[in-house]
């Protein structure tokens, strides 16, 4: 019998060039698709970003929509920093702040393809299934050990790091998930056909 190809790599792929904070000093609508295919690590643990969503101050689903508060203040600061918030009282979710000059925009990281430190992620998640380790914004924060302690940190300094993609993946777009306002905006981006998404993209 022919062996079916494995869905995960035997070894972690080689990392590309590390991204600087200035990568984020652009429109969130440019940064969000550009993040697809990059590798995000926390203390050396993480994987390839396969799904993100863009949020912008001018749109009511964004935490920054009603202006600065103690929680969202980092969104009003310089680009290239993390913004971590608690979701439904239980989960943590991580964003990357974009653009300077008060646009208060950020990219929510929604799913990773695990590549580095899979054993550590499996231990934190209490799971064996690689496909389920990082297939959602709350899941990936648990897998990478992200809490409020990792909020407002520079994205190009330890413990955080981002690495350029090797190849440009086929990127698909869709409406954002789990929100009740501005539901029609097609600001969700993902790797076409990836098995590591939080939810498939409509087709």
Partner DNA sequence: ATCGCGATTGTCT
Partner DNA sequence: GACAATCGCGATT
Using CB atoms within 10 A of its CB, is residue 196 exposed (0-12), middle (13-18) or buried (19+)?
A: buried
Which residue's CB is nearer to DNA, number 33 or number 137? 137
Which residues would be at the binding site for DNA (CB under 7 A)? 53, 55, 61-64, 66, 69-72, 75, 83, 85-91, 93, 95, 106, 108, 125, 127, 132, 136-140, 176-181, 198
Which residue's CB is nearer to DNA, number 21 or number 125? 125
User: Closest Cα to residue 8, out of 99, 122, 104?
Assistant: 122
CB of 168 to DNA, least distance (A): 24
CB of 29 to DNA, least distance (A): 15
Which residue's CB is nearer to DNA, number 5 or number 70? 70
104: left (phi over 0), alpha (psi -120 to 50) or beta: left
Which residue's CB is nearer to DNA, number 41 or number 97? 97
CB of 57 to DNA, least distance (A): 9
CB of 19 to DNA, least distance (A): 20
What are the b/e assignments for 8-44, b being 16+ CB within 10 Å?
eeeeeeeeeeebebebbeeebbebbbbbbbbbbbbee
């Amino acid at each position: 019998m022919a062996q079916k190809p494995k869905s995960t790599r035997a070894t972690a792929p080689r990392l590309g060039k590390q991204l600087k904070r200035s990568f984020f000093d652009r429109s969130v609508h440019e940064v969000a698709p550009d993040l697809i295919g990059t590798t995000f690590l926390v203390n050396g643990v993480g994987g390839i970003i396969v799904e993100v969503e863009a949020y912008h101050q001018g749109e009511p689903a964004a935490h920054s929509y009603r202006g600065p508060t103690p929680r969202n203040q980092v969104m009003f600061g310089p680009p290239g920093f993390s913004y971590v918030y608690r979701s439904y009282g239980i989960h943590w979710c991580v964003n990357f702040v974009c653009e300077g000059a008060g646009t208060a925009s950020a990219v929510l990281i929604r799913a990773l393809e695990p590549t580095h430190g899979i054993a550590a992620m499996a231990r934190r998640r209490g799971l064996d299934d690689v496909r389920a380790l990082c297939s959602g914004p709350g899941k990936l924060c648990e897998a990478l050990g992200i809490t409020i302690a990792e909020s407002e940190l520079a994205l190009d300094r330890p413990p955080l790091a981002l690495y350029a993609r090797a190849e440009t993946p086929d990127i698909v777009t869709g409406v954002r998930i789990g929100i009740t306002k501005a539901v029609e905006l097609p600001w969700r981006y993902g790797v076409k056909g990836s098995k590591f998404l939080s939810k498939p993209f409509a087709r």
